């Protein structure tokens, strides 16, 4: 009988593009009047579970920030992508969102066997995909993607706020709050506003 020390170690398969590898995808920023729409794709590591994954909208900002770092550290891989304001105005927000999602999936360093997307629409992908309504509350990988997309976009809005402080992007994140609409009426639209959105068109017509 061979000793345990002298026996050949058993090799563990590391074929990461096997059919069992699943990526979750979600977006942030379809509703705002300014800034890009952001999408994220995440393949979680079952050996490194992350507690507290939920739809990003039900988490506090502090908790989202903490989970953002944990997801980046523990996931097998993740990818964050954008569609620009120009692409939103050219394609419309739905098609720009699908473009950002496709870019996020294609940015993964590992090829998933299947992609699960939050919502009821699917981007054009080279791998099998399924749309799941309220998936960000049901599927952990989609929850993780929603957190990455939300935190990334919120950070972008803080950068926009520094460049355009008169609009208050750091506070409302580009959404059509009364404060944002009032700033639009007073200052007009800036380069990061989505011209295809009605409140922005109205602000431009006033100027």
| pLDDT at residue 11 in the model | 35
- Residue from 137, 105, 107 nearest 122 by CA: 105
Which helix (H) or strand (E) segment holds residue 146: the answer is: helix 140-163
Q: Average pLDDT of the chain? A: 91
- Looking at per-residue confidence, does 6 or 59 come out higher? 59
Q: Around Cβ 167, how many Cβ atoms within 10 Å?
A: 26
Residue 71 confidence (pLDDT) above 50: yes
**CB burial readout 60-75, b (16+ within 10 A) else e:** eeeebeebbebbeeeb
The rounded percent of the chain whose pLDDT value lies above 90 is: 87
Rounded average pLDDT over 147-152:
98
- Confidence bin at 113 (pLDDT 50/70/90): very high
Report whether 102 contacts 121 (CB < 8 A).
no
> Do the strands 114-118 and 129-132 form a parallel or antiparallel pair, or are they unpaired?
parallel
Residue 17 confidence (pLDDT) above 70: no
Termini Cα distance of the chain: 88
Residue 5 confidence (pLDDT) above 90: no
Rounded average pLDDT over 63-76:
98
Residue 4 confidence (pLDDT) above 90: no
Rounded average pLDDT over 71-97:
98
Measured CA to CA in angstroms, residue 26 lies from 40, 61, 88 at distances of 6, 18, 17
| pLDDT at residue 204 in the model | 85
Cα 183–chain centre separation: 27
User: In the β-sheet with 77-83, what is the strand arrangement from edge to edge?
Assistant: 77-83, 37-43, 22-28, 114-118, 129-132
């Amino acid at each position: 009988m061979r000793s345990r020390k002298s026996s050949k170690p058993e090799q563990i398969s590391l074929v990461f593009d096997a059919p069992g590898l699943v990526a979750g995808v979600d977006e942030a920023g379809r509703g705002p009047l300014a800034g890009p729409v952001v999408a994220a794709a995440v393949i979680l590591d079952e050996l490194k579970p992350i507690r507290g994954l939920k739809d990003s909208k039900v988490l506090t900002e502090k908790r989202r920030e903490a989970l953002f770092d944990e997801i980046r550290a523990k996931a097998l891989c993740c990818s964050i992508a954008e569609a620009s304001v120009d692409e939103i105005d050219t394609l419309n927000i739905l098609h720009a969102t699908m473009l950002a999602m496709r870019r996020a999936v294609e940015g993964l360093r590992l090829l998933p066997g299947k992609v699960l997307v939050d919502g009821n629409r699917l981007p054009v992908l080279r791998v099998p995909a399924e749309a799941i309504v309220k998936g960000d509350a049901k599927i952990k990988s989609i929850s993780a993607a929603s957190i990455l997309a939300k935190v990334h976009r919120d950070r972008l809005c803080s950068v926009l706020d520094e460049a355009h402080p008169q609009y208050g992007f750091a506070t409302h994140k580009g959404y059509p709050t009364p404060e944002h609409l009032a700033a639009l009426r007073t200052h007009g639209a800036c380069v990061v506003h989505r011209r295809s959105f009605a409140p922005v068109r109205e602000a431009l017509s006033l100027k």
